[in-house]
Amino acid sequence: MVKILVAGFKGRMGHTTVEMVLNHPGFELVGVYDPHSIEKNLNEINEFSELDVPAYHQLSDIATGKVEVWIDFTSPKAVFENVKFALEHHISPVVGTTGLKDEQVAQLQRIAKKNQVGGLIAPNFGISAVLLMQFAKQAAKYLPDVEIIEMHHDKKLDAPSGTALNTAKMIAEIRSEHYQGNPDETEVLPGARGANFQGMRIHSVRLPGYVAHEQVLFGGPGEALTIRQDSFDRSSFMSGVAVAVSKIGKQHELLVGLENLL
């Protein structure tokens, strides 16, 4: 049984993750953490009334000796401190929270290496998104002019999404930086052309009703290609999280991208 703590358990993804861990025969939920919760035990929540799982509100209270894997679905502001804490206590982080900066990831990778702890940061745990990123990288070899449109629910804090940024980074590995569009174009409304990553434009849509969706649009002379993925339900991320939790114990470094464990 892998002993797991879920950070951000009161949130949308955290709640879905708690349900997944409880229903998985190989996993044991040994703690939940959310500074914005009031419960001292998960059993104070109606649907979990039969359980006995401590709920923590600050890092220093966590019984770290019991935890093997730290699943993090928190917020861009919290994730760095959480993952650092996990690594320093020899707990393997499985991180879905987006918004970590490149230099923060590099710092966490150094801490993981020093402590010989494995972990995974995955901007997207959905298999359709992982495939979309791989297909997009392949397509950009032949169609290097590309724009990305990502669509999310209107409660999302960071823009562009971690998946969109990661898609652009993967494409940039094989596409040389170049300006796209008319060099003389003007934005009549600032921001109309979207964010700019090495010449690729990224557009973020925020609307109620959406969960997580992405389109990568390629254009070439006389033709176009669109690759699209849709996550309609948060449960779609859970098989990826479960794979990561099961495999992370064998790693000794902090990996980025679910594809590294598939």
- Residue 113 annotated to the active site: no
Across 8-26, b (16+ Cβ under 10 Å) vs e yields: bbbbebbbbbbbbbbebee
Nearer to ligand NAD, 46 or 58 (CB): 58
In angstroms and rounded to an integer, the radius of gyration of the C-alpha atoms of the chain is 20
- Please say whether the beta carbons of 66 and 42 come within 8 A: no
35 binds ligand NAD (CB under 6 A): yes
Element (H, E) at 195: strand 195-197
Q: Which of 32, 48, 70, 82 binds ligand NAD (CB under 6 A)?
A: 82
Among 4, 11, 85, 168, interactor with ligand NAD by CB under 6 A: 11
In single-letter form, the type of residue at position 127 comes to: I
Query: Choosing from 152, 169, 203, 213, which is the catalytic residue?
Result: 152
Please check if 11 is assigned to a binding site: yes
Element (H, E) at 114: helix 102-115
Among 21, 78, 130, 245, which residue interacts with ligand NAD (rule: CB under 6 A)?
78
Q: How far is CA 14 from the centre of its chain?
A: 12
Q: Where does this chain bind ligand NAD (CB under 6 A)?
A: 7-8, 10-14, 33-36, 73-76, 78, 82, 96-99, 122-126, 156, 212, 237
Binding-site members are 8-13, 39-40, 96-98, 122-125, 153, 162-163
Binding-site members for NAD(+) are 8-13, 39, 96-98, 122-125
Question: Catalytic residues, which ones?
Answer: 152, 156
